[in-house]
Structure 1
Amino acid sequence: MSDTLLRQWTMLRHIPRHPRRISVHDLRAHLAEQGYATTERTIQRDLLELSGRLFGLSVDDRSRPHGWFWERDAAQLDIPGMEPQTALAFKLAEHFAGPLMAPATLSALAPYFQRAEQVLGDKSSPVSAWPGKVQAVTRGQTLIPPSVDAAILDTVYSALFDDRQFHARYRRRHNGTEAEYVVNPLGVVFRDGVVYLICTINDYDDIMQLVLHRLLAAEPMETPARRPDDFDLVRYVDEGGLNFRLSTEPLGLELLLEEQTAFHLRETPLSQDQATQVERDGRVRLSATVADTAQVRWWLLGLGANVEVVNPPHLRNEIAQALRQAASRYD
């Protein structure tokens, strides 16, 4: 392969996709960094020649300096060509991880997704049938995810990526009133179709959760986000931050379970210190240390007659009272 072809291929890989642009001057700097010393005149000549042969390579000649870019829907140029297994990986990523991606990320990956669709369209390949053989489901009742305005989502993700504040107008849950905040984004968590923004607001240090579908407006700001030094998103989630934590003290659970429920919890334990023991009446006594959250209570209530809370006593009384109130609805 000639040096000219290698240089041109390297140059094409540095050209961004619309709406971003790159000047001939910047392309020359990129090429020099990779050992291809050339002149701006040569690069300009190459670009003009290639733009006539490659559909989707364009120049904005109204800007100064002129900016070169790939059209938004231009086919992805890649060597070697996409293999069926690679196409399958992109297809599965689009299907299962697409909802987790920022709009800018989805836009950048769109040509790969399109190419994957074309590769998997070849019915002669056994890989083409694979997407129809894979599904992911939740254990709970399936709910329709709320919609989030694409422009708002893009502003939030950009602020999170760049560690910048943004100004938000938000509809509160408890009374439906609107509030305005300066938001310091710390992370996002996806749960059952709902996107939670973990953040602080204004000058407060308390960690908050804003659900993105209640954001009515979001405007970017240039000021850096205020990020607590000791904040860690993984630790926040692991310690029950998203489960409406009710206390900083853990719960030492002791439960009596029907065998079918205990079997499930042996395979997917509640905690690392979980222990079980079969009782004389056939039920299974389970002990585990968990975070003290509202989620634990909802889970116990959902098990109904398959569980009896033994300890701690205050939780046993809470669950018993809730079940009495529920039963009274049917009297």
Structure 2
Amino acid sequence: MGRKHDKKEEASIILEILSRIPLSKRFVSVDDILNSLASAEIDVSRRSLQRYLKQMYDCGKYGLVRDDRGNAYGYRRERTDSITDSIHLKPNECLLLRIAQEHMKYQIPGTVLKSLGFLFDAASEMLKEKGSNAKENQWLNKVCVISSSIPQMPSKVLPRIFDAVSEALYSEKKLRIEYTNMNGKTTSAVVSPLALVQQDVRLYLICQFDHFDNVVHLALHRFKKAEVTSFDAHRPEDFDLQSYIHDRHFNYSNGEWVHWILEFKSDVTAKNLEETPFNTSQKLTRKEDGTWHLEVDIQDSRMLDGWVAMWKNDAQITLSQKEYLERETDEDRE
């Protein structure tokens, strides 16, 4: 049985509940509200929440609309004259929330994202009310992030899968999963989640299987089941996300490093590479015949080969040569 709240606490809880019920035609369930409150560390039992919602609905002061067509009730709100009806967001705050919702939805844990749902709803509603000609709405069509790769539709990741994976990663708990690989083989296992990585339109979970020492990455859209366990995840002491990415490069590299020599004639390409070098080891010089000569230590990958193929004609590439390097390992340093 949950503890009793005093009048001041109850008033605060009612305001928190109201802020999580959207002023729109979209209904939210009791579970949605309960999960959002829990994510914000607001301690309310299901029975207490149902009681508060019934009282708020019956009194008729808060504009609550109840959907009682199913076994579980849903709730939304209609606008009234009450000051509790709106979350007061400035136009720039609405714009920032909308951009964050769109571009960071896979970088924020699912439970945290749900706890912010009422803010995203409020921002969307406020921008709609301003109309399509409002400067804030026009701004969304004035900025864009583009990829240098061929556009692809994002793979379908089930919301329940992402929620479970991100929750386990956030709370550092093991996951019980069912996963089907590229060859159609399905595996059931328990894994320790270590990191979540987005590469273009794909999401990968970096993890370690129970009873195995190696670290692997699994595509989230191939998960059939994902369940958070009560067991603490094991994080290898030597695991470093950036090192893993550099060594594996997610299906584009074998981890080998090369000393790359590139020669080309385009002054435009030279200017671009001078402004945005491959890394700090890059050296760019001009030969007596006017040809540009570039040397850099870089990770060998299909993306590197693709860059040469893509820019061969425009950059007027005359030479692309790789010399494999011996990289110092942790064992060598010891």
Give the TM-score, by structure 1 length: 0.70
2-side partners of 1:263 and 1:143: how far apart?
30
Name the residue aligned to 2:101.
94
Native 8 Å contact 2:203 2:219 kept in 1? yes
2-side partners of 1:289 and 1:56: how far apart?
63
Aligned AA for 2:322?
P
1-side partners of 2:176 and 2:283: how far apart?
48
Name the residue aligned to 2:116.
109
2-side partners of 1:167 and 1:251: how far apart?
40
Distance change in 2, residues 1:166/1:282 (3 Å)? same
Native 8 Å contact 1:168 1:183 kept in 2? yes
Name the residue aligned to 1:190.
198
Name the residue aligned to 2:238.
230
Name the residue aligned to 2:3.
none
Indicate the RMSD between aligned Cα atoms, in angstroms. 3.8
The residue matched to 2:207 in structure 1 has which SS?
Answer: strand
2-side partners of 1:308 and 1:181: how far apart?
51
2-side partners of 1:72 and 1:162: how far apart?
29
1:145-160 correspondence to structure 2 within 5 Å: 145-160=154-169
Selected match of 1:201 from 201, 209, 222: 209
The residue matched to 2:308 in structure 1 has which SS?
Answer: helix
1:70-85 correspondence to structure 2 within 5 Å: 73=76, 81-85=88-92
Distance change in 2, residues 1:154/1:28 (3 Å)? closer
* Bigger mean CA offset, 4-13 vs 129-138: 4-13
Name the residue aligned to 2:322.
312
2-side partners of 1:224 and 1:28: how far apart?
23
Name the residue aligned to 1:139.
148
Note if 1:127 corresponds to 2:136.
yes
1:284-303 correspondence to structure 2 within 5 Å: 284-303=292-311
Native 8 Å contact 2:282 2:295 kept in 1? yes
Native 8 Å contact 1:87 1:117 kept in 2? yes
The residue matched to 1:156 in structure 2 has which SS?
Answer: helix
Q: Deviations over 1:84-110 (max 9, x none)?
A: 111111121122223444443443222
Name the residue aligned to 2:279.
271
Q: Number of residues paired by the alignment?
A: 282
Q: Deviations over 1:105-163 (max 9, x none)?
A: 44322222222122223147532321121221111111111111222222111111111
- Which structure ranks higher in relative contact order (CA pairs < 8 Å, sequence separation ≥ 6)? 2
Distance change in 2, residues 1:178/1:50 (3 Å)? closer
Native 8 Å contact 1:147 1:213 kept in 2? yes
Native 8 Å contact 1:160 1:185 kept in 2? yes
Show structure 1 runs of 5+ residues with no match: 30-43, 59-70, 316-331
Native 8 Å contact 2:98 2:124 kept in 1? yes
* Bigger mean CA offset, 76-85 vs 228-237: 76-85
Native 8 Å contact 1:243 1:293 kept in 2? no
1-side partners of 2:243 and 2:192: how far apart?
18
Aligned AA for 1:152?
I
2-side partners of 1:101 and 1:28: how far apart?
22
Note if 1:218 corresponds to 2:213.
no
The residue matched to 2:174 in structure 1 has which SS?
Answer: strand
Native 8 Å contact 1:244 1:294 kept in 2? yes
* Bigger mean CA offset, 231-240 vs 184-193: 231-240
Aligned AA for 1:208?
V
Distance change in 2, residues 1:28/1:85 (3 Å)? closer
Show structure 2 runs of 5+ residues with no match: 1-5, 21-29, 45-50, 67-73, 326-334
Q: Deviations over 1:183-239 (max 9, x none)?
A: 111111111110011111122221211011111222332211111112222343355
